[in-house]
């Protein structure tokens, strides 16, 4: 075996064929796995941001209206507290909006394993198109 030749061996389907990977291939594989893990984390944060942004903007509207009501009708100093709370919530929502971009998805790295790639000529696509054609005819 040469220097970068055999570093990892795998068994395939209970058979004994040995697949040898070079050190560069193993490093690339580990780097891809690390990128997929980071992509999964980024996808979770993007999902959380997608829920947080509209909710926080709604809560900031409610908080501002409560503060304006207290200030206008009762001249309560607590109204200023609600308005400050509104500013803090709205700023955090806009920060989440600016950080919403998932750079891994933009690069084509999708972290989740639950995605399914369907090729145009596959049987599943043909079955779905036939089912939709039958639904249209009825």
The answer to whether 7 and 29 are in contact (CB under 8 A) is no
User: Residue 71: its pLDDT value, please?
Assistant: 96
For residue 31, give Cα distances in angstroms to 28, 42, 43, 89, 132. Answer: 5, 16, 18, 37, 42
Q: Using CA atoms, how far apart are residues 11 and 20, in angstroms rounded to an integer?
A: 11
Residue 42, C-beta contacts closer than 8 angstroms, at least 6 positions apart = 102, 103, 104, 105, 111
User: Residue 89: its pLDDT value, please?
Assistant: 97
pLDDT values of the chain reduced to their tens digit, one per residue, 138 residues: 444 444 445 555 556 556 677 888 888 889 988 888 888 888 899 999 999 999 999 999 999 999 999 999 999 999 999 999 999 999 999 999 998 888 887 788 776 655 556 666 666 656 666 766 676 666
User: Residue 115: its pLDDT value, please?
Assistant: 55
User: Residue 102: its pLDDT value, please?
Assistant: 82
User: Residue 7: its pLDDT value, please?
Assistant: 45
User: Residue 108: its pLDDT value, please?
Assistant: 80
3-state class (DSSP) for residue 52: helix
For residue 14, give Cα distances in angstroms to 7, 11, 21. Answer: 20, 6, 19
> So where are the chain's domains?
23-103
User: Residue 14: its pLDDT value, please?
Assistant: 58
3-state SS record for 67-113: HHHHHHHHCCCHHHHHHHHHHHHHHHHHHHHHCCCCHHHHCCCCCCC
């Amino acid at each position: 075996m040469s220097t970068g030749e055999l570093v990892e061996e795998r068994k395939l389907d209970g058979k004994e064929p040995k697949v040898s990977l070079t050190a560069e291939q193993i490093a690339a594989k580990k780097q891809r796995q690390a990128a997929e893990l980071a992509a999964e984390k980024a996808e979770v944060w993007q999902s959380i941001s997608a829920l947080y942004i509209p909710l926080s903007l709604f809560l900031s509207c409610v908080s501002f209206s409560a503060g304006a009501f207290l200030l206008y009708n009762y001249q309560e100093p607590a109204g200023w507290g609600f308005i400050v709370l509104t500013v803090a919530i709205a700023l955090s929502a806009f920060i989440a909006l600016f950080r919403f971009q998932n750079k891994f998805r933009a690069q084509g790295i999708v972290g989740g394993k639950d995605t399914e790639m369907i090729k145009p000529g596959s049987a599943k696509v043909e079955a779905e198109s036939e089912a939709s054609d039958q639904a249209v005819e009825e």
